[in-house]
Structures are given as C-alpha cells and as structure tokens.
Structure 1
C-alpha cells in the first residue's frame, strides 16, 4: 500500500524494515537503522538504509538521510509494543541530548 509522506516532523521515526522513496530518485530504499551518528562529521542522521531489494551490499552502499527527505512511504516496517517502547525511548534520549547540546552552546557564547 502506497502512502504519501505527510511531513510528520522530527518526532516521528519509521520502524526498521520500512521501504521509502525520495522525491527526485526512483530507487527504493529499506531502512535498517535509525539515529545514526557520522563519526567523522559528528552529524546525526535520522536513518541509514540500503537499496531495495538488493540489501546491504557493501559499507559504501549505505545511504544516510533525514525524515524530511522522504517523499513516499512504500511500506511501513513491523510495529509492536517493543518497537513503540524503543522508539519512544530513542526519541526521549535524543531530545535530552539536543537540549544539553543547546545549553552547552549557549554557555559558550
């Protein structure tokens, strides 16, 4: 079932196994990780995905992106109570980390 991404904001994270598309790219991607940190740039990405249906072929074929980049959710991955609890804890931890980083940045001014 196809559904258009409704821009649900940063508070929403798709479960692993979800298949998505970008606006200007026909390749479908399958999400296999969330809240990925780039150790070189210290940038945090909402998702890491691989080409669908090919899978994770090499470390160089990982695609990092943010929720706002999604134009279509082709398939939503499995959601159960464990997934919901994990997602909520993940979002709560990120919110706390973001607040701490903002407070530290304010102190440096």
Structure 2
C-alpha cells in the first residue's frame, strides 16, 4: 500500500487580519508529491479556525529560477493577505494569475476554508 502524499508547505491565513498573521505550517514538511511513495511521510495536526484559509500548493507556484524559495513564499504571503477575506473562487484566480504569470512549471493550488459550526 502506498503512503498518502504529503504537501511540502501549507499556509493558514486567519480571518482576523488585524493580527497581520499569515503563517506557514512548517511541521510535517516532507518529500514532494511524486517522489518515492515508499518512503515514510511526516504528518502534523493543526487547528483551522472558522474563516481561515488553508492553501496547499506546488512549488511551481512559488519558485522562480535563480531566486530563493523564501522570497517566493514572502511574495505569496503579501499577495494573498489582501485577498484572504474574498470568497475562494475570487481568491484563487488572481493568486494563480499573479504568482504563476510567467511560469512554465506545473502549478496547483488547493484551498480550504472551514465554515463556522451552526
């Protein structure tokens, strides 16, 4: 049985933008999807508060040739901070358009936003 894929990085952007916190979840980072499925993958558990936004993305959305990955992550954080209160369909399209405009690498973005319990 193959191990479940793990994502390299995820971003949780809380709905309370007054805090200006848009952290990346560093725990559980492991091999990229598509690499040896027989190797064990780390996992982590975190709390997603209602209205927060969880982004799962491929490195193709962040990386640019000759640039440190941290710079791409900072660019993503800055761009998405202005959009994270938008509905997800409004949030995703400009994120991909802005961050992947000149990309030739594979790009994938999966977002999740928990609704409050009734």
Please identify which structure carries the higher helix content: 1
Per the normalisation by structure 2, the TM-score is 0.26
